[in-house]
């Protein structure tokens, strides 16, 4: 008997357990559009209120994985691994992490997304590089991963298409926050990428999707449990997002920050901690290192020796970017018409940062999106952002704004000043890496 969508929805509404075959049939209906938007929305709301068991979430994840292409890497003789971040402000880790892992002998087919809301998107950052193709054909993608060791690209329409439709409906029906649906959405795409292992960076703080440590841990444990039950070796780090991770937030400004990080010209301390922790976790999880100490040494050596910088440049060149990008990035990256410091309104210590507010200031400048269809100005943003605990005199710079117009610069300046709480006392600063969760 074929699936009756309304009965399937009713069972979850009434807190009954869903059958694996019925879940697969419902997802197939999402893909071929025999299931209506109203039925998808009703199911999402039933799950939002009643949840899914681990086995139900695994079945949903695998069905969405199988709704489109599932990649395989039979010709690559190295471990294949990736990481996923739940998103934040100044989170350009992927730009350094992929080449570090490639330099350590791990293949990284990194399928990334665009920014929406206050969080930045890796694809938007990479598109700051002239000529770089974030949507190469399959042959170029595979060749780059094979020859260079890493490629940062976007999701094709044939990778987990059921999730794409499902997420679009969740986004407009107030059901995005459901942990099992978040889990299925993230992992279906990663499983479709043909990975051998995965490491998750679950952000926690006022600039993150999960602002509460308990909620972040719940999501991280769901992701790890479901991924491992689905056959993908996975662990997670919960990292702090109570201040911008890098001292830059935007697109071209974060690319510049990433290149300076790779070359050693400048490395933000907390960004270094998170990047090396994720790199070590990926090396350990992929089997490239036998111990955490060995993994940490491999990652640091790849960074300090310049091998990771070489991999980054090779990836940029392979995917259409300038062959001299690293050495001449200031000539290639777009520049804003107005660049000026934002002055601290008073003396004191930075006691708090509304990280989401900083991200929204970038959106105001045109560096992010209010709607998915919006264009992005890659040149605008903020850099030289000071962190929690910084001691300031009145008039000291707390950031530098890159803007198209004086009005937009003034608006962003006001937003950044409002986001910084400066006063007397000591700032409470979380460790950059707050917790590790493994199977």
The pLDDT tens digits of the residues spanning 102-128 come to 999 999 999 887 766 677 688 999 999
2 has catalytic annotation: no
What is the average pLDDT score of the chain? 94
Q: Is 84 a catalytic residue?
A: yes
The catalytically annotated residue of 65, 83, 203, 378 is 83
What per-residue confidence (pLDDT) applies to 370?
Answer: 65
Catalytic annotation present for 311: no
Band (210; pLDDT cuts 50, 70, 90): confident
Catalytic: which of 12, 65, 84, 164?
84
The band of 373, judged by pLDDT with boundaries at 50, 70 and 90, is: low
- Active-site residue identified among 94, 119, 122, 188: 122
Active-site annotation holds for 215: no
pLDDT at 342: 98
pLDDT in tens, 20-79: 999 999 999 999 999 999 999 999 999 999 999 999 999 999 999 999 999 999 989 999
Single out the catalytic residue among 67, 78, 81, 82: 82
Q: What is the pLDDT of residue 195?
A: 96
Q: Is 86 tagged catalytic?
A: no
User: What pLDDT does 209 receive?
Assistant: 83
First to last CA, the chain: 38
| Structure confidence by residue, pLDDT tens digits, 403-427 | 999 999 999 999 999 999 999 999 9
Q: Which domains does the chain have, with CATH numbers?
A: 5-51 (1.20.970.10), 81-156+191-328 (3.40.1030.10), 335-423 (3.90.1170.30)
* Catalytic residue chosen out of the listed positions 12, 78, 118, 170: 170
Q: HEC profile for 189-242?
A: HHHHCCCCEEEEEEEECCCCCECCHHHHHHHHHHHHHHHHHCCCEEEEEEEECC
Q: Is the confidence at residue 371, as pLDDT, over 70?
A: no
Can you name the residues that pair with 95 across neighbouring β-strands? none
Dihedral sign, CA of 387, 390, 394, 397? Answer: negative
Per the residue annotation, which of 165, 189, 203, 356 is the catalytic one? 189
Query: How many C-beta neighbours within 10 Å does residue 86 have?
Result: 24
pLDDT at position 91 is: 95
170 is an active site residue: yes
The mean pLDDT value for 287-310 works out to 97
pLDDT reported for residue 369: 67
Six-digit token string for 54: 């681990």
Instruction: Give the active site residue among 156, 185, 222, 235.
Output: 185
What's the pLDDT score for residue 171?
79
- Structural element, H or E, at residue 357: helix 355-365
Q: Is 85 a catalytic residue?
A: yes
Active site residue 83: yes
Residue 12 designated active-site: no
Indicate if the pLDDT at residue 385 is higher than 90. yes
Which of 190, 356, 400, 402 is catalytic? The answer is 190
């Amino acid at each position: 008997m074929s699936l009756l969508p309304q009965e399937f929805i009713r069972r979850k509404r009434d807190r009954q357990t869903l059958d694996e075959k019925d879940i697969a049939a419902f997802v197939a209906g999402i893909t071929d559009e025999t299931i209506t938007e109203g039925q998808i929305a009703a199911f999402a709301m039933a799950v939002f209120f009643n949840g899914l068991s681990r086995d139900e979430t695994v079945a949903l994840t695998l069905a969405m994985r199988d709704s489109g292409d599932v990649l395989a890497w039979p010709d690559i003789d190295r471990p294949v691994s990736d990481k996923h971040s739940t998103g934040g402000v100044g989170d350009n880790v992927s730009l350094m992490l992929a080449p570090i892992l490639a330099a350590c002998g791990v293949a990284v087919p990194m399928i990334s997304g665009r920014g929406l809301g206050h969080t930045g998107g890796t694809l938007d950052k990479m598109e700051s590089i002239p000529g770089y193709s974030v949507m190469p054909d399959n042959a170029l993608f595979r060749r780059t991963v094979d020859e260079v060791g890493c490629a940062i690209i976007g999701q094709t329409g044939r990778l987990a298409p059921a999730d794409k439709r499902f997420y679009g409906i969740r986004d407009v029906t107030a059901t995005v926050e459901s942990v099992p649906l978040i889990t299925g959405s993230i992992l279906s795409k990663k499983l479709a990428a043909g990975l051998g292992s995965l490491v998750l960076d679950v952000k926690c703080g006022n600039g993150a999707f999960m602002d509460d440590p308990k909620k972040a841990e719940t999501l991280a444990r769901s992701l790890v449990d479901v991924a491992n039950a689905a056959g993908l070796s996975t662990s997670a780090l919960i990292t702090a997002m109570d201040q911008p991770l890098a001292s830059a937030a935007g697109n071209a400004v974060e690319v510049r920050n990433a290149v300076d990080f790779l070359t050693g010209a400048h490395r933000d301390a907390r960004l270094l901690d998170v990047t090396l922790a994720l790199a070590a976790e990926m090396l350990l999880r992929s089997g490239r290192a036998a111990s955490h100490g060995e993994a940490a040494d491999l990652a640091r050596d790849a960074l300090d020796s310049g091998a990771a910088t070489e991999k980054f440049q090779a990836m940029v060149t392979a995917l259409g970017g300038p062959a001299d990008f690293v050495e001449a990035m200031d000539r290639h990256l777009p520049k804003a018409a107005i660049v000026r410091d934002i002055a601290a309104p008073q003396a004191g210590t930075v006691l708090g940062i509304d990280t989401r507010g900083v991200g929204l200031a970038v959106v105001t400048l045109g560096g992010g999106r209010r709607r998915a269809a919006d264009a992005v100005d890659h040149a605008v943003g903020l850099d030289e952002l000071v962190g929690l605990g910084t001691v300031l005199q009145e008039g000291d710079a707390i950031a530098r704004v890159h803007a198209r117009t004086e009005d937009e610069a003034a608006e962003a300046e006001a937003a950044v000043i409002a986001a910084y709480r400066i006063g007397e006392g000591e700032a409470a600063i979380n460790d950059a890496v707050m917790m590790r969760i493994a199977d």
